[in-house]
Chain A
Amino acid sequence: MDIAIIGANGSTGKHMASRILLEKLLLPTDRLQLVGRSTGASASALYGFRQDLKDAFAEHCPIIDIALRPEEIVADIILMTAGSTLHPHAHKDKPPPSRDELASYNRAIAIPYAEAIAKYGYGHEIVIVVTNPVELIVQVFADHYDRRRVIGMGAYQDSLRFRREVARSINVSREAVRAMVLGEHGDGIVPLWSSVTVQGFSESETARAIRQVRSSTSSVQFPETLQRLRDEIIQIAQSGHMNEAFQRFDTLPPDVRVMVGPFLTLFSGAKTDIATANATVDLVKSILSGKDTVIAAQVVLDGEFLSVSGPVGAPVVISPKGWDGVYPIPLSDGEQQLFFKAVQSIQRKLLLWNA
């Protein structure tokens, strides 16, 4: 088994590499490929990073290979994490890049990799997309390669966050909560309250617990509530009271915290790279386990779920072959409306970004 990390010199890529070695996912005869660009800092820094990894994990280190051109990528699982990210404090004198600028920049980075994997790959690679906007980059890879082997991380990570936040609100462990977030990895997230189950809770106990903690009585009200509470948090953070902003954040409903949490983390000057890397490696472990597992992930649909076509966060069954099909999870009327709204939002943005 070989794993390639595109964008290995970035902070998320480095955390992924470190966690892969820490968890001994690869045998000493397997290969971890660190992929960077021949121009730019990664061309030299990756050699130093490799040395650091060898120093840290000498006893059980796999072969660590460095590739500086897209055509050199050879692996069974390819983690796409190259690209820029939204960061409000990246340049203090300049405004942060808009989401449209980010999309255009990251799309241009992704295309040569998608083309190379299609041309030089052997057709059995699984591509896990971490780079945002995840729907756009999933579309880029699926345009060139087998769409069933392209999986976007957004909804998977949102679902992990949702489970954690629900668990926190009702005082149980995350492992005890099953829940999914579908739709867009961004403002168009669709938290599926109807999918929430809590180990040890009866249906009526779960329903009562949900009523007490969710942000709004129906899913269609969620975007408005999210917007209102996020604006409130931003105002506190912008006034320089970061501690107060996080204290207020802790009192928000769990579905709102799913969205506001990463935003506030970035706003504070920190990154979400550790959580993203951990979630990605968890997904890799699920794939390597050989078991069919149901997860929420961004995939390019062709009518398999609610007759939707295009990239969107959907419930899928993953296996060592990629995603085998969708899992027919029932949605409430409100969730379905929210999901279709997210699909439309994604398609509008893709039209703009692909123009």
Chain B
Amino acid sequence: MECIANDENLPLQTIVLTVEDEPGTLFLISSVFSNRGISMKSIQMHEDNLPMNSVHLSRLTIRFRGEDSRKKIISRLLSRLDCVIESR
């Protein structure tokens, strides 16, 4: 598959996720990117202080290069994962 991630002409996209902090979360999220030939430029994780319904949450900020339509589909795909509470 063509890797479009290193094309510096493409706009830098940012997706912010609120996710459940549990084993496998990062694997599932990174699979959505890798299955579509997208390489993450950066990924930052912040642990949220307050657990929701006793589930510990983390905030992920992911940056990658791609067209707006790619961000739209990636964001929608991520939002369908059970471990993702919010995607924006």
CB <8 Å contact, B28 and A29: yes
**Is A63 within 8 A of B77, CB to CB?**
no
| CB of B19, distance to nearest CB on chain A (Å) | 15
Q: Which of B28, B69, B80 contacts A74 (CB 8 A)?
A: B80
Report the interface size for chain A: residues with CB under 8 A from the other chain.
Answer: 16
A65-B80 contact given A122-B73, A123-B69, CB 8 Å threshold: yes
* Size band of the interface chain B makes with A: 10 to 19
What CA separation (Å) do A30 and B32 show in the bound complex?
8
The answer to whether B35 and A122 touch across the interface, beta carbons within 8 angstroms, is: no
Contacts of A29 in B (CB 8 A): 27-28, 31-32, 35
Does A352 make an interface contact (CB < 8 A)? no
Task: Tell whether, in the assembled complex, residue B77 and residue A74 are in contact, meaning their CB atoms are under 8 Å apart.
Answer: yes
B76 at the interface (CB under 8 A from A): yes
Q: Whole-angstrom distance between the alpha carbons of A72 and B76 in the complex?
A: 9
Tell me the minimal C-beta distance from A127 to chain B in angstroms: 16
* Chain A residues with CB below 8 A from B41, complex form: none
Residues of B within 8 A of A122 (CB): 69-70, 72-73, 76
17 A–B contacts from the bound complex (CB under 8 Å): A27-B35, A29-B27, A29-B28, A29-B32, A29-B35, A30-B35, A31-B77, A31-B80, A65-B80, A72-B80, A74-B73, A74-B76, A74-B80, A122-B70, A122-B73, A122-B76, A124-B73
**Top 4 A-B pairs ranked by shortest CB distance?**
A29-B31, A122-B73, A74-B76, A65-B80
A-to-B contact residues, CB < 8 Å: 1-2, 27, 29-31, 33, 63, 65, 67, 72, 74, 120, 122-124
